Amino acid sequence: MNIDEQFDNFLAELGVEMERPEDRQFNSDSFPEITIHQASRDHYGVFYRLDLIDQKPELRIMIPVDRGDVKTDIYLVRLSDLTILNTTFVEMSIYPGSDAYEHGREAALQHLLYAVAEMMKQLFWSGDIQTLSFPPEIKVYPLLLHDDRRIDRRRLH
């Protein structure tokens, strides 16, 4: 048994199912252009990771739970195609601006990512985690759920 199979077996014993690249709806090979980590001000124990990947914002929400070995549920939140904000990041990135614009582009992208993430958080928390029902402006993908809430891969497609 190779190391990957051993790791898969170890995680399976913990109730974690490994995701295969062909199962994923997001590109795991892309590296974030910008990453911001933060603790929630409004939800005790919740942490956020904000990424700009392939010029699109992604928000990972880590929620503490009392059950399971990991004691954390993790959700990936993306903007749906209903919003124009996905194209905003692309347009900002490709705009051939002045030297002054170029000098401030990265800081502006970070601030924009932070602002968009605040909206994504509000939309996430206004939804229903138990039924995975959320406002149409966002798409939510459970990445890791505690033992008694297995991920139904059919809901991700």
Model confidence over 112-154: pLDDT tens digits?
Answer: 889 999 999 999 999 999 899 999 999 999 998 875 555 544 4
Q: pTM, whole model, 2 decimals?
A: 0.72
Model confidence over 68-126: pLDDT tens digits?
Answer: 788 899 999 999 988 888 788 888 888 888 999 889 888 888 898 899 999 999 999 99
Q: Name the residue ranges covered by the structural domains of the chain.
A: 27-156
Q: First and final CA of the chain: distance in angstroms?
A: 32
**Rounded alpha-carbon distances, angstroms, from residue 67 to 10, 19, 72, 130:** 18, 21, 8, 15
Which residues are within 8 A (CB) of 143 and not within 5 positions of it... i.e. 6 or more apart? 19, 60, 74, 75, 76, 151
109 secondary structure, DSSP code? H
